Amino acid sequence: MIKSLVTFKNSIDYIMIAPAYPPFVGGVERHVYEVHHALGRLGLKGRVIVFHQQPSLGVLAEDATWIDSNRLWGWLPKSARLRRALKFIKIISQYPEAKLHFHDFGTIYPILPLLKLLGYLHRTFLTFHGWEGKYPPEPRVISMRQKCAKAVMGNIAVGKFIPKWYGTEPNMITYGGVDVERYSNITPDCNRLPLRVAYVGRFEQDTGILELINAIRAYYRVSGVRIDMHLFGSGRLKEDLLMLQSDSSVLVTVSPPVSDMTKVLERFPIIFASGYLTILEALCARRIVFAYYNNPLREDYLRLHPASRSMFICGNAQDVIDGLTLCHENIHGACQFSEPGWQWAKRQSWDNLAKQYLNLWSLEK
């Protein structure tokens, strides 16, 4: 099957269309970047089109083309929208045999009529990443996602919660990938590190980050153990979190998002994770994972995860306290609890995920 995909009539086998890309930091950015490069290791040639304003700082990938969409054409004048649409059409028209793979429904929905008009839907695929951070999901968004899923040749859902909550039938479900060799060799073991925790993710209400901090406060009150917590990320709650750094009731340090997760995993035995990639990297590095939910969708996001029974999934402060108590009193027991998840994570390489993309592209309706 791989040979059939690399013998196209032109020099490009696929084009990834994404809402963002490195040097921006985030789960979708990493996913697209890593899958793109894993496909290259499998012998395919591809390009990335990024519907985003080109960043002024950072090293830009040579094979990425940036088209400033202003939230996909949005409020742009018609002339500007037309110029950007024509630029996109010009690129994809150069490669009539290349698979077109969109990431997130927001990148494809505004141009579905254009793809249909050009007759390109027969080579178009889609990956659904995450959710919008609003609970319950808006009916309008559910309808948009379903229209996209029906229009394309096939789709991948990042998480089993997506078909449950949005009613889109995926061809495949994934939870991302990890550089297994790099992360599985991180030292020291978590039971040899001081008891401290790192939160890695978005600083937003839906992640439950404020509830987590309050739970650690409560743990200190009941146990007398003060746990150092380092927060890595960005978002609308940043200023609120920065104010906590001067609060004597909790030891909190706030830092920008990390581009190299290994530096965090080398120092912290416990990871509070808000996203699938962070969960996967932490498990691969044999760390203890806590994750928090504050609504039913977010609970399914976590409990439907293949490694859910190896994580401390918390829905209230008492859940967090119970998990931290076990880690403090019996770190070996906490490690034993996490072991099945560690073994699962070591099988989730980016190369294996790239092969899933190849399988998807071979589908025919």
Helix (H) or strand (E) holding 230, with range, is strand 228-234
Long-range own/partner contacts, residues 250-259 (CB < 8 A, 24 or more apart): 250/213, 250/216, 250/217, 250/220, 250/226, 251/226, 251/227, 252/213, 253/228, 253/229, 255/230, 255/231, 256/232, 257/25, 257/26, 257/232, 257/233, 258/25, 258/200, 258/232, 259/25
**Average pLDDT rounded to a whole number, residues 278-293:** 95
**Structure confidence at residue 37 (pLDDT):** 96
d(CA 32, CA 340): 27
Q: Provide the mean pLDDT of the chain.
A: 89
Query: How many angstroms separate the Cα of 218 from the Cα of each of 1, 91, 166, 212, 323?
Result: 56, 56, 36, 10, 13
Q: Say if residue 74's pLDDT is above 80.
A: no
Q: Convert the pLDDT of each residue in 78-90 to its tens digit.
A: 666 667 778 888 8
Domains, the chain, ordered by start: 2-177+349-361 (3.40.50.2000), 181-345 (3.40.50.2000)
**Average pLDDT rounded to a whole number, residues 338-357:** 96
In the beta sheet, which residues pair with residue 16? Answer: 48, 101
pLDDT class of 120 with cuts at 50, 70, 90? very high
Secondary structure of residue 166 in the 3-state scheme = helix
C-alpha 40 chain-centroid distance: 21
Q: Convert the pLDDT of each residue in 178-211 to its tens digit.
A: 999 999 999 999 889 998 999 998 898 878 788 8
Q: Which two tokens stand for residue 329?
A: 């009193």
Q: Convert the pLDDT of each residue in 160-176 to its tens digit.
A: 999 999 999 999 999 99
Terminal Cα-to-Cα distance of the chain (whole angstroms): 17
Q: Convert the pLDDT of each residue in 11-63 to its tens digit.
A: 899 999 999 998 888 889 999 999 999 999 999 999 999 988 888 776 677 77
Q: Between 343 and 365, name the one with better pLDDT.
A: 343
